[in-house]
Amino acid sequence: MMRRALELAERGLYTTTPNPRVGCVVSKNQQILSEGWHEKAGAPHAEVKALEGVDAAGATLYVNLEPCSHQGRTPPCVDLLRKSKVSRVVAAMLDPNPKAGQGGEKLAAAGIRFEHGLMQDEARELNLGFVSRVTRGRPWVRMKVAATLDGRTALADGRSQWITGAEARRDGHRWRARACAILTGIGTVTADDPQLTVREVETPRQPLRVIVDSRLAMPPQARILQGEKVLVFSAREGELPNAEVVALKNENSKVDLPKMLAELARRGVNELHVEAGYRLNGSLLREGCVDEFLLYLNPSFLGDAAQGMLDLPAFASLEKRMRLKIRSLDRLGEDLRLLARPAAASA
C-alpha cells in the first residue's frame, strides 16, 4: 500500500513545487478503496483526493508524508481525516515543515491510530528538495556534469556540445524537468549560448532559469534571455532584458553563493539543477553548496588542454581528497550515468 502511495506521489514529480510530492491510498481488509495524489500547489492534497466520495469509516490511510495540520492554501488534512472516521493512518515520514507538523499527534489525540516510518528512506528521497528547503533554508543542489573518461568537460575554448550521446542528453532533460530551477554561469552562456529549457521530454512546466553573472556581462541577444523571464544573480546593480537582476556581492566582489541559495529557497525552489562550467562548479563545491553529483561519462578522451569538471585547488595528500558515495551507476547508450554524493553527507 505504501509503495503504491509513493508511485502516486511520483506523478507530481514535475508539478507540485514548492509543495512536496504526496500520494495517498485508502484501504480496508487489504483492499484498496480509493487513492489520490497532489497535483500542484493550490490543488487538493492527496488525502482530500483519496477520500472524495468514499466511506472510509474504519479504513487505514497510507500516505508518504504526515498529514498537514495547518491552514495554508487549503484546509488542514487532519480535520478531514477526523471527519472521515478512518481508524488508522500510516505515514512514511513525518512532515519536516515546522508550520505543518504535529499532524500525527492531533490524529492520535482524536483517537486515530497513527504510525510512521514505513518506507521512510524512499519517501525522503522523493522529497529531498522539499526537506532541504524547510529544514536548511536552501534547495537541494544537484550538479550535472558531462565529461570524457579523462574528466574533461569542454574544449579549451569552452565549447562542450556534445560530449555525450542522445540517450544521455535525453536523460539529462528528465532531471532538468524535475528541478524547480536550472542554474548556469555566464561562462557557459558565452561559450554555448544555451536555452536551458526542457525539450527532450514532455513536461507540464519549464523550470526557472537562473544565471550567475557577477559583472552583468550577459549578451542581450543570448538565447537564454528569450522566452520566460530569467533570474540573474550579480555582484552589481543593473538591468537586463527579460530578466530580474538580484545583486548579492561577497567580499571578493563575486556573487555570494550561499546567500543565492537562501534567496532561491525563499522563492520556493526545492531542487536546483546545476549545468555550469568548471569555474562555477568549483566555486559551488568549495563553498559547500553541492549536495549531489549527476555525472555522465563518455568513453572518449579530450586531453590536457581541455577544461576539467571542477576548478579546485590541488590537495596536498590523498587523504585530503573529496570522497564520494555512489548512489547508482547505469548505462545509457555508450555513456555511463553516475549519481553520487559527498561521502561525509551520505546516509
Q: What is the pLDDT of residue 320?
A: 77
Q: What is the pLDDT of residue 61?
A: 97
Across the beta sheet with 271-274, the strand order is: 243-247, 230-234, 208-212, 181-185, 271-274, 140-148, 292-298, 335-342, 324-332
In the chain, ranges of CATH 3.40.140.10 domains: 2-126
**What is the mean predicted confidence (pLDDT) over 258-286?**
95
Q: Is the pLDDT of residue 153 over 90?
A: no
List, by residue number, the catalytic residues. 47
Task: List the grid coordinates of 258.
Answer: 550561499
Q: Is the pLDDT of residue 264 over 80?
A: yes
- pLDDT above 70 covers what percent of the chain? 96
Which position has the higher pLDDT, 101 or 270?
270
pLDDT band at 316 (very low <50, low <70, confident <90, very high): confident
Q: What are the pLDDT digits (tens) for 84-94?
A: 999 999 999 99
Q: Are 234 and 213 in contact (CB under 8 A)?
A: yes
Which position has the higher pLDDT, 159 or 143?
143
As a whole number of Å, the CA-based R_g of the chain is 22
Contacts of 171 by beta carbon, 8 Å cutoff, 6+ apart: 296, 332, 337
Whole-number Å distance between alpha carbons of 45 and 73: 10
In the chain, ranges of CATH 3.40.430.10 domains: 138-345
pLDDT band at 159 (very low <50, low <70, confident <90, very high): low
Q: State the fold for domain 138-345.
A: Dihydrofolate Reductase, subunit A (3.40.430)
Q: Are 156 and 306 in contact (CB under 8 A)?
A: yes
pLDDT band at 263 (very low <50, low <70, confident <90, very high): very high
Q: Where are the beta strands (DSSP E) in the chain?
A: 23-28, 31-37, 60-65, 88-93, 113-116, 140-148, 152-154, 181-185, 208-212, 230-234, 243-247, 271-274, 292-298, 307-308, 324-332, 335-342
Q: Is the pLDDT of residue 204 over 60?
A: yes
Task: List the grid coordinates of 121.
Answer: 528512506
Point out the least confidently predicted range of 61-70, 156-165, 252-261.
156-165
Whole-number Å distance between alpha carbons of 307 and 278: 7
CATH 3.40.140.10, domain 2-126, yes or no: yes
Q: What are the pLDDT digits (tens) for 219-244?
A: 989 999 998 999 999 999 999 999 99
Q: Are 301 and 148 in contact (CB under 8 A)?
A: yes
pTM given for the model: 0.91
Q: Is the pLDDT of residue 71 over 70?
A: no
Q: Rounded to an integer, what is the distance from CA 28 to the centroid of its chain?
A: 34
Q: What are the pLDDT digits (tens) for 23-40?
A: 999 999 989 999 999 999
